[in-house]
Amino acid sequence: MIPDPTPLRFDTPVAPGGYAWWYLDGVSDDGALGFTIILFVGSVFSPRYARARARGPAADPEQHCAVNLAIYDAKQRTRVWALTEHGQFARDAEHLRVGASTIRWHDDGSLVVEIDERRTKFFGRRGAPLRGRVRLRPAAMFGPRVELDHWRAQPRHRWYPVAPHARVDFEFDQPALSFSGSGYHDVNEGDEALEAAFDSWSWSRCELGRESVILYDVVASNGVAHARAWRFNPADPAPTIEVIPETAFGPAQALATTRWGVARSIRSDPGHTPRLLHTLEDTPFYSRNLVEVQYGGRPATAVHESLSLRRFAAAWVRGLLPFKIATD
């Protein structure tokens, strides 16, 4: 698995009807606070972009850029949320700007996101300002190109785990909040809508001491499951990636279904039962969670997500999306 320069550039071409997103998450050292940030070129959750794709194959992803921010307090069960489609957009090899928010790599090797957004309220209204900075410091750089739909003759969806083991410093003025903790960064890109290839997926990442383990289990649109896992060791003189065989873990074990009825599951060591610690995000087609797992006999807390593209494609879910997406 050879590192690919694609995810380190912010001007990577995005095919008409396709998408690219830059994703970061972080969890405080005590597990109480967390965040996710996603900057989209071609927002995969945009009803406007879906309508543009339906009109023909020339839908321009750069006309449908968005920023998603979620800040979680797991113990207090509170959340700050923003998802906004912006008309202003600029990018080159060194940086990406969507609205007034930016992401760029700095000379010291850190990835810095400057957020200037407003909370998204019900019916897509915009509320209080959200302003701050996140600095992610990778323990090592990886970024191999992984074909998520590898079973197809011509795969069209790619994932790059750029910094699977990192530290983050989260410093916000609005709301006033700061913490440091475990961090993660990856990039996804594709040449068509997600629901064209996938029925669902379950993804998780966790740190095991100085290593990180990522599970990325996808179910193809024909219902066939494809389970994959990797171990990243940034501590070696030459950072290594190990592909973990599917037989290393037990079968996926179901977690409690969400309030919206979304199924979620995760793999762990044979004989070990994963334990759901917190549900951070609960939507009609997606959930984000903290889960207690065990890999190779070592306990860990995994950041976990379940995404149902079959649910997402349903008309009643598409009808709800505009209520949680703002535009400027």
Average pLDDT of 189-195?
96
* Residue 180 · residue 28 · CB < 8 Å: yes
pLDDT at residue 177 in the model: 96
- What pLDDT does 8 receive? 83
- Quick check: 1 pLDDT over 60? no
d(CA 328, CA 319) in angstroms, rounded, equals 20
Say what the pLDDT of residue 75 is. Answer: 77
Contact status, residue 214 vs residue 185, Cβ threshold 8 Å: no
Distance CA 307, CA 218 (A): 9
In a domain, 225, yes or no: yes
Look at phi and psi of residue 21 and say left if phi exceeds 0, alpha if psi is from -120 to 50, else beta: beta
Whether residues 40 and 188 fall in one domain: yes
User: Do 183 and 273 belong together in one domain?
Assistant: no
Q: Indicate whether 92 and 230 sit together in one domain.
A: no
pLDDT level of residue 6 (50, 70, 90 thresholds): confident
Half-sphere exposure for 103 (CA within 13 Å, toward CB): 25
Residue 31 pLDDT grade (very low, low, confident, very high; cuts 50, 70, 90): very high
Tell me, yes or no, whether 326 lies in a domain: no
66 and 186 assigned to the same domain:
yes
Whether 247 and 169 map to the same domain: the answer is no
Tell me, what's the pLDDT at 41?
98
Q: Is residue 80 part of a domain?
A: yes
Rg (CA), the chain: 19
CB 253 within 8 A of CB 268: yes
| pLDDT tens per residue, range 75-131 | 777 889 999 999 999 999 999 999 999 999 999 999 999 999 999 987 677 889 999
- Contact (Cβ atoms closer than 8 angstroms) between residue 234 and residue 210: yes
Is 71 among the domain residues?
yes
49 and 94 both lie in a single domain: yes
pLDDT of residue 3: 61
Shared domain for 90 and 220, answered yes or no, is: no
Bigger pLDDT: 73 vs 75? 73
Residue 131, Cβ density class (10 Å: 0-12 exposed, 13-18 middle, ≥19 buried): middle
157 and 113 housed in the same domain: yes
Number of domains in the chain: 2
Taking residue 68's Cβ as centre, other Cβ atoms within 10 Å add up to: 20
Residue 265 is encoded by which pair of tokens? 């599951």
Phi, psi of 284 (to 5 degrees): -65, -20
Q: What would the mean pLDDT of 188-209 be, rounded to a whole number? A: 96
Tens digits of per-residue pLDDT, 273-323?
Answer: 999 999 999 999 999 999 999 999 999 999 999 999 999 999 999 999 988
In whole angstroms, what separates CA 34 from the centre of its chain? 13
Domain that holds residue 82: 1-194
Q: How do residues 237-258 score in pLDDT, each as one tens digit?
A: 889 999 999 889 989 999 999 9
Q: Is residue 240 part of a domain?
A: yes
Looking at 166, 194, 222, which one is the last position of a domain? 194
Residues 44 and 119 placed together within one structural domain of the fold: yes
From the list 70, 24, 122, the residue with the least C-alpha distance to 280 is 70
Average pLDDT over residues 206-215: 95
Model pLDDT for residues 130-174, shown as the tens digit of each residue:
999 999 999 999 999 999 999 999 999 999 999 999 999 999 999
pLDDT computed for residue 123 by the predictor: 65
Is residue 133 domain-shared with residue 189, that is, in the same domain?
A: yes
Q: Answer yes or no: do 153 and 274 share one domain.
A: no
pLDDT tens digits along 43-61: 999 999 999 999 988 899 9
- Please indicate, yes or no, if residue 256 is contained in any of the structural domains: yes
Domain closes at, from 194, 218, 234: 194
Pair 28, 88 in one domain: yes
Residue 4 has pLDDT above 90, yes or no: no
CATH number at residue 85: 2.40.370.10
In terms of Cα–Cα distance, which of 78, 90, 89, 61 is closest to 119?
A: 78
Instruction: Give a yes or no: residue 327 inside a domain.
Output: no
Domain boundary among the residues 170, 194, 218 is at 194
Q: Considering the domain boundaries, does residue 328 fall inside one?
A: no
Q: How far apart are alpha carbons 231 and 206 in whole angstroms? A: 10
